[in-house]
Amino acid sequence: MSGLVLHDNPLSSNALKVRFLLAELGLPYERRTVPLSRPRPAALLALNPLGGIPVLEDDGFAVSESHAILRYLAGRQGRDDLHPAAPRERAVVEEFLDRFATGIRAAFFRHETPALGYSRDKGGFGAVPADPAAAAVAERDIQPTLRLLEGLVGADAVVLGRFTIADCALAPVLFRTTRTGLDLSAYPRLTALRAALTSRPAFLAADPVG
């Protein structure tokens, strides 16, 4: 056994991106479910004082923040194809991960919240009634971000020209659009990327339900 433990929730897109990479790497791990409701359990807070999901333990060493976990796992396995060692190639991957985390992800979440009835304090998705009217407003408002993302991803059904941890990061959010009903028909690259990533055997093995 690898000694890997993932503190996880099935509906967490951040946890799904880590499960996706674990499946791509073929690594066995123990999965421990953490509730989305707050306050988070003391056992999780002992590993990550911010209480975020997921947290990965590797024989007692804890790593939190999903993109940090992706980087850690790729490096642990020596997978320079997934997280390049060459500075310029790595910078392209890092740039996309930072852009996604600091701006693009929030736009999708703005639509997910009313579309799926999300409440941070009451248990996450489905905790409150969905609001289709608010979701429609959010869908309209986030179009500039969708256009921006369409221009950032490649035309070859991978984010950056070949499959990397950037694809693992983006796949869960694209998958969730199949649940929220976010219309991507005006964005052929995003539509093709969603189809390619969500049909990968490793993504299907990662239990994509959220």
- Banded pLDDT at 38 (limits 50, 70, 90): confident
All structural domains of the chain:
4-76 (3.40.30.10), 87-205 (1.20.1050.10)
pLDDT, one tens digit per residue, over 94-144 is: 999 999 999 999 999 999 999 999 988 777 888 899 999 999 999 999 999
How many whole angstroms separate alpha carbon 144 and alpha carbon 35? 33
What is the reported pLDDT for 138?
98
**In which order are the strands placed within the sheet that holds 30-33?**
30-33, 4-8, 55-58, 61-64
Q: For residue 14, which amino acid is it?
A: N
Distance CA 172, CA 93 (A): 17
Minimal CA–CA distance to 205: which of 24, 9, 11? 24
Reported as a single tens digit per residue, the pLDDT across 55-70 is 999 999 999 999 999 9
Q: Which two tokens stand for residue 196?
A: 């390619």
- State the average pLDDT over residues 166-195: 98
pLDDT of 1 strictly over 70: no
| Residue 51 identity | G
Query: For 189-207, what is each residue's pLDDT tens digit?
Result: 999 999 999 999 999 999 9
